[in-house]
Structure 1
Amino acid sequence: MYAISLGDDGAELRPLEPWRAEEFLAHIDRGREFVGQHILLADVVTDAESSRAFLQAYAEKAAADTGRIHGIWLDGKLVGGVLFRTMDVAQGTAEAGCWLEPSAAGRGLVTRAVRVIIDWAVEERGIHRVEWRVSAANEASIAVARRLGMTRDAVLRESFLYRGKRRDIEVWSVLAPQWRASTRAS
Structure 2
Amino acid sequence: MYAISLGDDGAELGPLEPWQADEFLAHMDRGREFIGRHNGLPDIVTDLESSRAFLRTYAERAAADEGRIFGIRTDGRLVGAVVLRRFDVRQGVAEAGCWLEPAAVGRGLVTRAVRRIIDWAVEERGIHRVEWWVSAGNAPSIAVARRLGMTREAVLRESFAYRGERHDEEIWAVLAPEWRAAREAARAGD
Please tell me the residue identity of whatever aligns with 1:68. Answer: R
Partner of 1:73, secondary structure, is strand
Deviation readout 1:39-77 (Å, 9 max, x if unpaired): 111111000000000000000000000000000000110
* Alpha-carbon distance, 1:138 to partner: 0.3
In the alignment, structure 1 residue 84 sits paired with structure 2 residue 77: no
Moved over 2 A (4+): none
Q: Which whole-Å deviations, capped at 9, do the CAs of 1:3-34 have from their partners, x for residues lacking one?
A: 00000001000101111000000000000000
Number of the residue aligned with 1:18? 18
Report deviation, 1:128: 0.3
What is the one-letter code of the residue matched to 1:107? R
- Opposite residue 184 of structure 1, the aligned amino acid is E
1:33 aligns with 2:45: no
2:137 aligned residue: 137
Secondary structure class of the residue paired with 1:43: helix
Cα deviation, 1:134-183, whole Å, max 9, x if unaligned, reads 00000000000000000000000000000010000000000000000011
Other structure's SS at 1:19 match: helix
> What SS is found at the alignment partner of 1:118?
helix
Can you list the C-alpha shifts for 1:73-124, whole angstroms capped at 9, x where unaligned? Answer: 0011000000000111000000000000000000000000000000000001
For 1:110, the equivalent position in structure 2 comes to 110
Distance 1:54 1:32 in 2: 15
User: What secondary structure does 1:142 align onto?
Assistant: helix
- What SS class does the counterpart of residue 8 from structure 1 fall into? coil
Match of 2:51 in 1: 51
- Residue 72 of structure 1 aligns to a residue whose secondary structure is strand
Mapped to 1, the partners of 2:76 and 2:148 lie a distance apart of 26
Structure-2 separation of matches of 1:74 and 1:139: 23
CA distance in 1, matches of 2:146, 2:71: 22
Task: Report the Cα distance in structure 2 between the residues aligned to 1:65 and 1:137, rounded to whole angstroms.
Answer: 31
**TM-score, normalising length: structure 2:** 0.97
Distance 2:10 2:43 in 1: 29
CA-based RMSD: 0.4
SS at match of 1:51: helix
Q: Which runs of 5+ in 2 are unaligned?
A: none
Corresponding pairs, count: 186
Which structure 1 residue ranges, 5 or more long, are not aligned?
none
Answer yes or no: is 1:67 the counterpart of 2:67.
yes
Between the aligned partners of 1:51 and 1:88, the Cα distance in structure 2 is 25
CA separation in 2, counterparts of 1:77 and 1:91? 35
CA distance in 1, matches of 2:13, 2:182: 22
- Describe the SS at the equivalent of 1:166: strand
SS of residue matched to 2:7: coil
Quote the Cα distance in structure 2 between the aligned partners of 1:59 and 1:182.
32
